[in-house]
């Protein structure tokens, strides 16, 4: 039974990879079409530039995602620290210094 589960999992992983590749191919075709329609490029030039545009968009999205993830993690750390923090307020009611007491 465990072997069947491993084979099934591998099959699903393969399907996910293939679907991801198909999605990237469709995105590249869409970028090519947009470069031809709005950019005024010929088909060959648009097809040559589409992967670069796609990689730039994916790289920017990945960088933004990592930045937001790290900001969220840092925010969670500050929230956890604030919940554990004990405020020492003894300094707020300080006694008179010795030189002012009038000895």
Tens-digit pLDDT profile for residues 44-88: 999 999 999 999 999 999 999 999 999 999 999 888 887 777 666
DSSP reduced 3-state for 71 = helix
Return the pLDDT at 77.
87
Tens-digit pLDDT profile for residues 77-98: 888 887 777 666 666 656 666 7
| The three-state (H, E, C) secondary structure of 25-50, written as one string | HHHHHHHHHHHHHCCCCCHHHHHHHH
Question: pTM for the full model?
Answer: 0.66
């Amino acid at each position: 039974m465990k072997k069947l589960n491993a084979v099934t999992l591998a099959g699903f992983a393969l399907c996910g990879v293939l679907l991801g590749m198909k999605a990237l191919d469709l995105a590249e075709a869409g970028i090519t079409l947009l470069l031809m329609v709005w950019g005024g490029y010929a088909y060959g030039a648009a097809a040559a530039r589409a992967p670069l545009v796609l990689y730039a968009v994916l790289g920017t999205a990945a960088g933004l995602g990592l930045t937001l993830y790290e900001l969220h993690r840092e925010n969670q750390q500050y929230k956890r620290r604030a919940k554990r923090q004990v405020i020492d307020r003894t300094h707020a009611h300080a006694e008179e210094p010795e030189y002012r007491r009038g000895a």
